[in-house]
Amino acid sequence: MMEDDFYATLKLKTGEEIFAKVSASEEEKGTMLVVSNPVIISEVKGRMGIVGYKLEPWLKTTTDDMFIVNMDDVLTMSESSDIEMIMMFQQFCRSSNDRSNNGSSISREMGYLGNVNDTKDLLEKLFKKN
Low-confidence ranges of the chain (pLDDT < 70): 1-3, 98-114, 130
Whole-number pLDDT of residue 15: 93
Task: Decide if 66 contacts 34 (C-beta within 8 A).
Answer: yes
Structural domains of the chain, ranges and CATH numbers in brackets: 6-104 (2.30.30.100)
Model pTM score: 0.69
Phi (first) and psi of residue 44, to 5 degrees = -105, 120
Whole-number pLDDT of residue 111: 63
CA angle (117, 120, 123) in 5-degree steps: 150
Distance in angstroms (rounded) separating the CA atoms of residues 64 and 93: 12
Q: How many residues does the chain have?
A: 130
Question: Which SS3 state, helix, strand or coil, does residue 126 take?
Answer: helix
Whole-number pLDDT of residue 16: 93
